[in-house]
Each structure stands twice: as C-alpha cells, then as structure tokens.
Amino acid sequence: MIEALQFDFMRNALLAGVFVSIACGIIGTFVVIKRIVFVSGGIAHAAYGGIGLGYYFKYSVLPILLADAARARLDPRPGYYPLFGAILFSLVSAVAMGLVQRRTRQRADTVIGAMWAIGMATGIIFVDLTAGYKVDLMSYLFGSILAVQPSELLVILGLDIVVILLVVLFYKELVAISFDETFATVENVPVDVIYIVLLCMIALTVVMMMRVVGLIMVIALLTMPAAISGQFARDMRRMMMLASILGILFTTVGLWLSYAWDLTSGATIILVSGAAYLLSLAVKSLVRRQQAGNTSNGMV
C-alpha cells in the first residue's frame, strides 16, 4: 500500500474513503437502529436522476446559455455537475419520501419503490436527451473511487462537515426518534421534522458514497460497518465511532487489494465489508454459545 501512495489518484482515493467512512459510521448507525435501510436504498437510486440531470445541464443547457469563451472560463471539472445534480435530486427525494411516508396512507415500501424506479428512469432519459458524447454512467452505479479529483474531495469534505454538524446539533432528538417515536412525541420533539432531517443527512451521505462504491452498493457500506459495531458496542456514540473506524479499515483494505490484484475498487471494498460482517456474525454466535454454556454450568 505504501508503494501505491506515491500516486496522486491513490492518495485522493484513500482520503475519499476516510471522509465517506466517517459519515457512513455516523449515519449508518441511525439507519441500522431505526431499520430504514429500504428508505436509504430508495434515496440512493433516486439520486441517479440527478446525475443524468447534471450531464444534461452541462452538455445541452449550458452551451445555449453561455458563449464558448465564457463557458470555458466558468466551466469547472466535469464531475461537478453530476455531483451537484445528485445532491439536489437526493435531497428532494428524501424530503418527498419523508412527507409521503408520514402524511399519506399509502404503503411506505410501495411509494419508495416507485420513487426508486422513477429516479433511475429519469436519469437514463436525461442522458438520452444529452447532446453529443454519451457518458458512461456505470462509474456512478458501481463506483470510481480511483477517479476522484481534488475538487470533488473538497465537496465530499464539505458534505461530511455538514452531516457531522447536523448530528451534533440534533443528536438528542435523533436518538429519541430512533428508539421510541411515541416517547419523543410526548416529550414535544418535532418527530416529523427530525425524521426528514435524518433522511436529508442520509441523502448527503449517499452522494458522498456514490464515487466510492457506486449507487448500487451504497447500502452495503452504509449499513455493514454499523451492523458489525452494533453487535459489540452498547453505547450509541461508541457504535458510531467503531462503525467509522471499521469503514476506514474496509475501504483501505479494499483499495489495497484492488491495487494489488487489479480488481474493481468499489466491489472489492464491499466484499471486504461483507466478509467482515459474516465473520462478526460467526464470532457473535460463538460468544453467545460460550456464555450459554457458562450459564448452564453455573446452574448445575
């Protein structure tokens, strides 16, 4: 791994993995405890619409609005437009899912599934309508952590800071609605508002993860470190901290394996996370059996 760090793209990838893992550890803990993995998946896939919208704006709308010389001066790196498009679409999807889930009698899974499909279909249509070269959007579906640019790192870091500040600001309220919404309502916590804030933080985290493992595998990295830490940590803060550390470990090991064996980085990171999760289940099962055996021996 030390040899690989001589390359700028590997250093950028490692930093992206660290930044994303911190947000995943924090937000993933709420997702696992509140059991809203499916909602998170809906937000992740709906964000694909924003990616298509970003490319459409860059290659079809912007050339009409600006002259070539002005566009050359104002046009940032290509990754900006899909990134900000995904932020917009995922936030709108998060708020819409939250409002629909809270204020209608429709089955939540049906509504989320519909928005999931509509978001992805919208992204594909926007790409079809985009003038000129048709970009390969597979990198957004399956990740392209090795292609992360320094400018994108700054955006990811900014989103990371926003997520952390929101969690610090609304920590007590988020804990309350995660464990018992009825009690939170009795204590005058604005449950609906805090729930939508949580969904918006999930949306921002999803956008960060998009470049690391892709939208298809977002849920795995969002939930597996938190699920592992939940088996061994009782305190919520410790669970967040352990999940963040595990996320950093998984992304680092996955990057090293992908570099050493010439594998796809995003998929390798997910396989490392999955193997660790299965191992944790086995360890937890052995611990429970040992505790049950000690208890029965003590009773005898």
pLDDT at 162: 93
Query: Where does the pLDDT of residue 29 fall: very low under 50, low under 70, confident under 90, or very high at 90 and above?
Result: very high
pLDDT at 225: 94
Nearest CA-CA partner of 201 in 166, 252, 246: 166
Q: What angle do CA 147, 21, 267 make, to 5 degrees?
A: 55
- Among the residue ranges 48-62, 65-79, 123-137, 225-239, the one predicted with the least confidence is 65-79
CA distance 96 to 199: 10
Give the domains, in start order, of the chain with CATH numbers.
Answer: 4-299 (1.10.3470.10)
pLDDT tens-digit map of 144-157: 788 888 888 888 88
Q: Are 94 and 31 in contact (CB under 8 A)?
A: no
Taking only Cα atoms into account, the Rg of the chain, rounded to an integer number of angstroms, comes to 21
Q: Report the number of secondary-structure helices (H) and strands (E) in the chain.
A: 14, 0
CA torsion through residues 216, 43, 19, 244, sign: negative
pLDDT at 76: 47
pLDDT at 77: 47
CA distance 27 to 199: 10
